[in-house]
Amino acid sequence: MEVAKMVLKHRAAAITLASALTAAIGALDYFTGQECQVVALYLLPVSLVAWVAGRKLGMVFCLLSACTWLAAEAGIGGIHARQSSLLWNALMFLTVFLMVALLLSALHDVMNSLERRVRLRTSQLREEMTRRHDADLARLRAERLAQVGAMAAQMAHEVRNPMGSISLNLDLLACEVIELARAMPSSLPHDQEEALSLVDQIRSEVERVEKVMQDYLGFARLPKVVPTPQALHPFLDEKLALLLPELGAAHVRMVKTYDPTLHTVNIDVVQLWQVLLNLALNARDAMPQGGVLSVTTLQEEDRSLIQLSDTGCGIRPEDLSQIFTPFFTTKARGTGLGLALAQQIIAEHDGELTCHSILGEGTTFTIALPRVREVATSSLKVRASGSAQTFTPCSTPPHDHEIHPSPAC
């Protein structure tokens, strides 16, 4: 079985075998002295070669077989009167061999091309299936988020109305406490403070509920992304500066490394800022002891990358595949919606948000934004490079500048 498979696969093996067979049949022909009885056997090597090695070699073998037969016959009978009939017979056999060889090689070609088409189609189908699967997943996720939004919009009325009256009543309660203390000077100031601190505690819990509600409403409110061509570096400089106090308080240092060849990209400024804010605050939370947040831009062939890397605790490998799933969170007070929203926003930009993390070493989030379409680029590029130079002169010559928040870690 193995030998047969090998012979069918390797031309050299097949040709060797076929040659040996031809010689053996020729010998058989010669020694048995039968005139035409074994001639059909020659078809064996011929078909083998025609099948494995193709049409040309098959035809060569037809000729070889016919000659071998002729030689064997000639050897048996000597050169005698039936020479012409022998030659005639040889020619006839040659024709038969040739037909068989051609037929077989043609069949083989058809089979091969069919097989190739099947293979091609299978791989196409597989690709299509993965693509559809990915698209389905993305759609499902988007639908799920939209449902969260729709539900949140509905819930908002049910939750925020009572929250509204609780919030106002708390203010009133605080007034009453102060009034009461004023009316009864005999009561201890400690009681008043205690009562006011209780009011404050309730108020902070109201704010907490409100924060959760805001997270959920993020999806309901998510307006259509309206991208406009922007030079990324001025945008990043402006927005990241807003984060410095927050990061400084957490002893996080920000290091910016810009790629001066960065193209203009189409972004929705408000929504991309949402994403950056989310990623940066996550990075801060991942570094409770302080650390470094690196913001890096990179220009690739057809996309622009913004990378945010922290030197924090990293994400466990089993959590990594889940981080963009709505409601997945590892934070005690998280809603699990931040990264899902971020990914949704980047997807709406036709971009990609990916995460790479090493436990204990840090996490890198990469925002990949597609290149602005060709039609628009020529004019925009000129404007972009111009504005980049005038807007942030510092961002072009030194590619690396650091910002140290006051208490350096």
Partner 1 sequence: MITKSILPLPVELDRSRLSLLHCRLLVVDDDLPMLRAVTKVLSRAGAQVHSASSTAEAMQLMADPDFGFDVVLTDLRMPVASGKFILSLIKSTHPSLPVLIMSAYWTPEMKDECTRLGVAGCLEKPTSSRQLIQAICRVLQGERRPDADGEN
What is 48-77 written as a DSSP string? Answer: HHHHHH-HHHHHHHHHHHHHHHHHHHHHHH
Which CB, 7 or 199, lies closer to partner 1?
199
169 binding partner 1? (CB under 8 A): yes
223 binding partner 1? (CB under 8 A): yes
Tell the smallest beta-carbon distance from residue 173 to partner 1 (Å): 9
281 binding partner 1? (CB under 8 A): no
Which of 99-107, 118-126, 154-162, 185-193 is the region at the interface with partner 1 (rule: CB under 8 A)?
154-162
Which CB, 57 or 217, lies closer to partner 1?
217
**Distance between alpha carbon 9 and the CA centroid of its chain, in Å?**
37
192 binding partner 1? (CB under 8 A): no
- 240 token code pair: 């990241």
Which CB, 27 or 172, lies closer to partner 1?
172
What is 300-317 written as a DSSP string? Answer: -SSEEEEEEEE-S----H
Among 35, 54, 102, 167, binds partner 1 (CB under 8 A): 167
91 binding partner 1? (CB under 8 A): no
In sequence order, what are the beta bridge partners of 356?
Answer: 364
171 binding partner 1? (CB under 8 A): yes
Tell the smallest beta-carbon distance from residue 195 to partner 1 (Å): 12
Give the chain's radius of gyration (CA, Å).
41
Considering only residues 245 to 264 of the shown chain, the ones binding partner 1 according to CB under 8 A are none
269 binding partner 1? (CB under 8 A): no
Tell the smallest beta-carbon distance from residue 228 to partner 1 (Å): 17
Which of 64-72, 159-167, 311-319, 364-372 is the region at the interface with partner 1 (rule: CB under 8 A)?
159-167
- Give the separation between CA 341 and CA 324, rounded to whole angstroms: 8
Which CB, 213 or 281, lies closer to partner 1?
213
Q: What Å distances lie between residue 144 and 155, 222, 306, CA to CA?
A: 16, 14, 27
163 binding partner 1? (CB under 8 A): yes
Contact 141, 344 (CB under 8 A): yes
**Per-residue x/- track, 203-222, partner 1 (CB under 8 A):** ---x---x------x--xx-
Tell the smallest beta-carbon distance from residue 326 to partner 1 (Å): 20
153 binding partner 1? (CB under 8 A): yes
Among 99, 103, 140, 172, binds partner 1 (CB under 8 A): 172
Q: What Å distances lie between residue 146 and 317, 327, 381, CA to CA?
A: 28, 13, 36
Which CB, 335 or 363, lies closer to partner 1?
335
151 binding partner 1? (CB under 8 A): no
Q: What is the rounded end-to-end Cα distance, in angstroms, of the chain?
A: 72
Q: Which positions ≥6 away from 228 have C-beta within 8 Å?
A: 266, 267, 268, 269
179 binding partner 1? (CB under 8 A): yes
Query: Of 320, 226, 237, 222, whose CA–CA distance to 276 is shortest?
Result: 237
Which CB, 136 or 207, lies closer to partner 1?
207
Q: Which DSSP letter does residue 39 get?
A: G
Size of the site for partner 1 (CB under 8 A): 26
Tell how strand 303-310 and strand 291-299 pair up.
antiparallel
Which CB, 26 or 218, lies closer to partner 1?
218
Contact 291, 323 (CB under 8 A): no
Among 67, 100, 102, 156, binds partner 1 (CB under 8 A): 156
Burial class (CB in 10 A: 0-12, 13-18, 19+), 55: middle
- Give the separation between CA 31 and CA 114, rounded to whole angstroms: 44
159 binding partner 1? (CB under 8 A): yes
Type of residue at 209: V
Which CB, 74 or 269, lies closer to partner 1?
269
**What is the contact surface with partner 1 in residues (CB under 8 A)?**
153, 156-157, 159-169, 171-172, 174-175, 178-179, 206, 210, 217, 220-221, 223
